[in-house]
Each structure stands twice: as C-alpha cells, then as structure tokens.
C-alpha cells in the first residue's frame, strides 16, 4: 500500500505541478444565456467572479498562475485575455474547432512535455463549483503524489447522493490507499451516463462514484497512454510538438485538428487503460450542468421558487425564473424554468432541464436561427 503524505504539509518540492483548464465548451444546456460568443464559463453565474475566474483563483494557493494553461476555442481568445489578464499568450492554447477532450488534453500535455518533461499535470473543467476549496487542494496534492509514485492515471470521483443520469460513473474496486485523509481506489471501469434504472442500481451498490472530469497524471504517463490507446492522435502530437511555443503554433494546431478524430479522453483512454486510480472527492462539488442546478445555490422563496431578476407572480410554485431584461410574470404554473434574455425566452418543464440541448440542436439545423446560438 502506498504511503500518502500528511495532507496538511506542503507539497513535495520535487513535484512540478501544472494546471490545464479546459474552457472550449459552449454550455448549451444554459441557453439562452450561454452562447457560442459568450459561453457559460465566462458568465458570472453564482458569485462575484465568472466561472473560469473562480477556477483559476481556487488553484493559486497551490499552483502559480504562471503554471496555469487554458485550452479553448479560437473565438474565445479575447474573452480569456480580458477575464484572465495575468496569463500571457503562451499560456492560452486555442483550438480551431472542438474535437472533444482527448485532442485538447494531448495537445496541452505535449506543450508541457516541451516545457518540463517531469511535470505533473492537473486537468480541470472551467465551470465547476467547489465549496470546500481547502480540501480540494489537499486532494489535488495527494493525487499528484500518487500519480508521481505509481505512474498511474488519477481521477477524482464524487460520492453520488441521488440517481443522477446527467453524469458518467466510475466503478471502483478495493481500496488502493487510505493513508492520511484522502482515499484512493483502483478503478474497474468507466460507465457512460446511465438511464434512471441503472443510476438507481449504482447508487444502491455503493461502489460507484460520479465522474467529475478532473484528472491528475505525469505528462509522460498520459503521453504514453496516447501512444498505446490513441496512436493516431499520438502521431499528430509528435508532429506538432516542435511548433508549440513558436510562431508556427497556430498553423500546426490547425493542421493537426484537420486530421485527428473527435473523441473524449474517457472513451479514448480512461475506459481502456489499466493503471487508473480514483480519489474520493469529499470537498463538495457541482458541475452546474443545467438550469435546475441553480436550486442548489440560491435561496428559495415561500413558494419554492428561485427568482433572479424582476418577477411578479400569482400562485406559482417550484420554478426557476431568470429575468435579465424587463419583468417576467408567472400565474398558476409550477415546476417551470423560465429564462428571459434580451433576444430570447426559454420556457421548459424543470424535469426536462437536460433537454435544452435538443432546442439548441434544432436551431443549429436552421440557418435563420444561427444568430441565436
């Protein structure tokens, strides 16, 4: 059993820790506020800062801002620079088009390999809420040590509290290490987002965790995994690496993305690799994946409603109302999500919050609606 350091102590000086924040998504389930030109991660959804600013800020006690890298879409360059002015251009990796998480993680790993081949890489989404930031950093430190000592792929899983169908799951086996505060388990398999029946079974079983989409590994370890499990992407990474950090970078990435497949890191590597460990994330966590998640972060009124903005109502209950322009009126309705922006209004049954993406897909199919995307 591996020995994990005291989580209260400083991270070992021999670990060179870097962060890669994935910020290329559009946040389609938060339409109409989240748009291609101004996605969810750049919005101030819950506090005083935007979601990507919160993500970077919570890392700074552990990882210098000089070691934080952002991977995003080329159309979001100005947003990143305006919201994260301390980052220089060399810390922003721009994708010409989205190809899911495997190519962007591989690209970032190749850049870090060029900067520091001994780096340990923390990969995080840009739009999660983490209440207990101190505990979060402790788990990152412990995970970095496990990744270094085992040369394994480490992910963070969250104990499920309900049969959630919007998350993937991690099926774990025996305890790998419980020394100190953080528990690590050997991973048996990754499970795609389940239906309600399977989600209830996973909750009852007790050996499943929610897949948070957070990863920690040595740069060398993940690049070796690309070589083994995604050789077609590995070849492109080798081809592009010499151009990273040079004036040729943008052109080289564009050519790479014209050839690599669209595939997630879960499907491409994590579902195939054997040397995977999961840390139990007991720091509180919310991926804020749909409008219904706002109920967990705002106080409800006497009718069970969450209201942000100007709203008047009569006999309406258990609804979420976001009124950004003008006033919204609600009469005799319940269990609705109503979002009003300057040029669009969303009205949806609260139980169908995940299906906002279906509306976005319909608009994508109609040229005259592209201006609303």
In the chain, what are the domain boundaries? 17-280, 291-372
Give me the torsion for CA of 35, 36, 42, 44, rounded to 10°. Answer: 0
Residue 325, token pair as written in the block: 């322009």
Bridge partner residues of 352 (DSSP): none
Q: Which of 63, 64, 66 is CA-nearest to residue 140?
A: 63
User: What local confidence, expressed as pLDDT, does residue 10 receive?
Assistant: 45
Q: In what order do the strands lie in the sheet with 345-349?
A: 306-314, 320-331, 336-340, 345-349
- What digits encode the pLDDT tens for the residues 266-294? 999 999 999 999 999 999 898 888 999 89
Q: How confident is the model at residue 8 (pLDDT cuts 50, 70, 90)?
A: very low
What angle is formed at CA 99 by the lines to CA 98 and CA 104, rounded to 5 degrees? Answer: 90
Q: What is the mean pLDDT of residues 178-187?
A: 81
Q: What is the pTM of this model?
A: 0.91
The span from the CA of 26 to the CA of 28, in Å, is 6
Q: Given a cut of 60, is residue 362 above it in pLDDT?
A: yes
User: What local confidence, expressed as pLDDT, does residue 13 receive?
Assistant: 52
**What's the CATH number for 17-280?**
3.90.550.10
Q: How confident is the model at residue 79 (pLDDT cuts 50, 70, 90)?
A: very high
User: What local confidence, expressed as pLDDT, does residue 9 receive?
Assistant: 44
The span from the CA of 324 to the CA of 338, in Å, is 11
User: What local confidence, expressed as pLDDT, does residue 279 receive?
Assistant: 96
Q: Residue 286: how many CB atoms within 10 A of its CB?
A: 15
Q: Given a cut of 60, is residue 325 above it in pLDDT?
A: yes
Residue 228, token pair as written in the block: 């083994």
Bridge partner residues of 170 (DSSP): 190, 209
Enter the DSSP assignment of 137.
Answer: H
Strands 276-280 and 153-158: parallel
Helix (H, G, I), strand (E, B) or coil at 208: strand
């Amino acid at each position: 059993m591996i020995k994990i350091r005291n989580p209260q102590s400083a991270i070992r000086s021999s670990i060179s820790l870097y962060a890669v924040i994935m910020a290329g998504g559009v946040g389609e389930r938060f339409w109409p506020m989240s748009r291609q030109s101004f996605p969810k991660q750049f919005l101030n959804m819950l506090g005083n800062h935007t979601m990507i600013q919160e993500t970077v800020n919570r890392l700074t006690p552990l990882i210098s801002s000089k070691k934080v890298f952002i991977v995003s879409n080329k159309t979001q360059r100005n947003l990143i620079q305006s919201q994260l002015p301390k980052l220089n251009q060399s810390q922003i990796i721009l994708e010409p088009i989205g190809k899911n998480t495997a190519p962007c993680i591989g690209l970032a790993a190749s850049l870090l390999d060029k900067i520091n081949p001994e780096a340990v890489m923390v990969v995080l989404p840009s739009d999660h809420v983490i209440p207990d930031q101190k505990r979060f950093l402790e788990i990152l430190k412990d995970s970095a040590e496990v990744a270094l000592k085992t040369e394994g792929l480490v992910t963070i899983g969250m104990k499920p509290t309900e049969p959630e169908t919007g998350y993937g799951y991690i099926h774990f086996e025996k305890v790998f290490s419980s020394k100190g505060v953080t528990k690590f388990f050997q991973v048996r398999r990754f499970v795609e987002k389940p239906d309600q029946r399977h989600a209830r079974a996973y909750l009852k079983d007790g050996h499943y965790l929610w897949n948070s989409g957070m990863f920690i590994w040595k740069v060398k370890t993940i690049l070796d995994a690309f070589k083994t499990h995604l050789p077609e992407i590995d070849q492109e990474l080798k081809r592009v690496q010499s151009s990273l950090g040079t004036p040729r970078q943008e052109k080289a990435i564009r050519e790479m993305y014209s050839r690599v497949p669209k595939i997630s890191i879960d499907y491409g590597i994590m579902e195939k690799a054997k040397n995977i460990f999961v840390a139990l994330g007991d720091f509180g966590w919310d991926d804020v994946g749909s409008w219904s998640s706002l109920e967990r972060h705002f106080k409800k009124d006497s009718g069970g409603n969450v209201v942000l903005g100007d709203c008047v109502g009569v006999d309406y209950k258990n609804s979420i109302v976001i009124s950004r322009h003008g006033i919204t009126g609600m009469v005799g309705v319940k269990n609705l999500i109503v979002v009003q922006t300057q040029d669009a209004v969303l009205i949806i049954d609260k139980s169908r919050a995940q299906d906002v993406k279906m509306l976005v897909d319909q608009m994508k199919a109609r040229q005259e609606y592209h201006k609303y995307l």
